Amino acid sequence: MSTDERPQPLPHDPNAPMTPLERRGMAAILLSVSLATLDTAIANTALPAIAADLHTTLAASVWIINAYQLAMVATLLPFAALGGILGYRCVYLGGLVVFLVASAVCACSWSLPSLGAARLLQGLGASAIMSVNAALISAIFPPHRLGRGVGLNALVVGIAFAVGPTVASIVLSLGTWPWLFAVNLPVGVFALMIAWPSLPQTKRAAHGFDRLAALLNVVTFAALIFALGEAAQRPPTRIVLASFGIALVAAVLLLRRERGHPAPMLPVDLFRRPMFALSTMTAICSFAAQGLAFVSLPFFFESVLGRTQVETGFLMTPWSALVALMAPIAGRLSDRHPPGLLGGVGLAILCAGMVSLAMLPAEPHALEICIRMSICGAGFGFFQSPNLKAFMSSAPRERSGGASGMIATSHLIGQSTGAALVALCVSIAGKHGPTLALSLGAAFAGAGSIASGLRLMPRNPSKPAPERIAGEPPQEA
């Protein structure tokens, strides 16, 4: 049979094979995303070892994670806006270069302040990558197959999280923690070689970059994350209140500055769309639950249960492995079924899994832990891809940069909240702090399940729908 005579897929068939352009573009994106995700997973697992080597407290060592997340949260939306002006490819590649340089600096750090500063720089590079990640996927895949793209993205993130604890355990058993950051360098150079010729060029916005709005955005989110981190350390109340006050004032000034802007850096206009607003709320709750678990569990396994670093790495693996297994399945289902339903079911399963972890017996068998971790991972994996699909399909195509930046921002606000609450739980409850943190995580997952279910409610027919722009995909129920 000749090529012309072969059966051709329907133009809107979600099961059609990936085109060469889609394969090359996704390979480039997934390599860089896996690098940033692997680094996060490694840092979480190695936190007790780094704290011991740098002679700092467990609560203070959380800033190794918070510094990275603070830099990301503060700059995600400005980088997303810059991507719309310069092109998402340009911002993505620049972020990857900065991430590699910062990884080398992290490997050479000698104290908590020096490592924290290097992690800030690393967070800037990761922010540029993650701010336009979903926008590039949206540019590669047509709307009717976007679920496949975000499913592959979630699959690779899950695999990186699954491999991260194991890699951290192996590296720590063979050498010292600086090697955890040095392993980024060969992987990152290879990712850059693949990404440079493969990422697509995207249409650029006509408006300029508002530097004052970018500065106000940085101050808003940096002050917010700093306030969350400091509140967990239980400092003088005036410090926390001052930080929250700065965040509030900067946010008000930012909103005034961008009033009437066609594409505001903080996409408040998109929050008038119920699907987008509820997807944001769902993402914050779910990633707060995951942050509470992933920061507290290494301390729980090592300090409370007396497990070794290598054992801790393997006990953390089932969660991420099940995320990787469920993500592509949920991604394909999201092309046919409402994201609100799939996400609500997934977060209900996550809630049940975290409750079971909080109720572990005093001396649990490894199999008991792995089963509970697998339940959590299956639930989170079933939620993640549909929620990404809901985010991107509820925004106009020309606003995909703002939607992409908001996805990453909501994820990191949730994770930073979770990490800060772990430090607070440890300072309040001592060795029982991880158990308290897991209970809080279950509560966040339950709240996220409710928020996801609200996306299934029909719109009020008396209230006009948000104005659609020509070529924009309809919002999903």
Q: Using an 8 Å Cβ cutoff, are 126 and 411 in contact?
A: no
In a domain, 153, yes or no: yes
Q: Residue 11 has what pLDDT?
A: 47
Under the banding of pLDDT at 50, 70 and 90, the label for residue 102 is very high
Nearest one of 34, 28, 26 to 320, comparing CA atoms = 34
In a domain, 469, yes or no: no
The total number of residues shown for the chain amounts to 477
Segment 22-73, tens digit of pLDDT: 677 788 888 888 888 777 767 777 777 788 888 777 667 777 877 887 888 8
For residues 96 and 389, the model is more confident at 96
Q: Residue 235 has what pLDDT?
A: 67
What does the pLDDT average to over 443-465?
A: 76
Q: How far apart are CA 333 and CA 79, in angstroms?
A: 31
The domain of 350 spans: 20-200+208-456
For residues 250 and 456, the model is more confident at 250
Under the banding of pLDDT at 50, 70 and 90, the label for residue 16 is low
pLDDT at 4 over 90: no
In a domain, 403, yes or no: yes
Segment 245-258, tens digit of pLDDT: 999 999 999 988 88
- DSSP letter string, 267-334: -GGGGGSHHHHHHHHHHHHHHHHHHHHHHHHHHIIIIIS---HHHHHHHHHHHHHHHHHHHHHHHHHT
Which tokens sit at 11?
Answer: 């133009």
Select, from the ranges 233-242, 357-366, 440-449, the one with the highest average predicted confidence (pLDDT): 440-449
Q: Report in angstroms the alpha-carbon separations of 57 from 169, 174, 430.
A: 21, 24, 13
Q: Residue 58 has what pLDDT?
A: 67
pLDDT at 2 over 70: no
What is the residue whose two structure tokens read 């480039």?
28
In a domain, 417, yes or no: yes
Under the banding of pLDDT at 50, 70 and 90, the label for residue 460 is low
For residues 77 and 19, the model is more confident at 77
Q: Using an 8 Å Cβ cutoff, are 167 and 42 in contact?
A: yes
CATH at residue 255 = 1.20.1250.20
For residues 60 and 8, the model is more confident at 60
Phi-psi label, residue 175: left if phi above 0, alpha if psi -120 to 50, beta otherwise:
beta
pTM metric for this prediction: 0.73
In a domain, 9, yes or no: no
In a domain, 353, yes or no: yes
User: Count of domains in the chain?
Assistant: 1
Q: Residue 435 has what pLDDT?
A: 85
In a domain, 156, yes or no: yes
In a domain, 338, yes or no: yes
Q: Residue 18 has what pLDDT?
A: 65
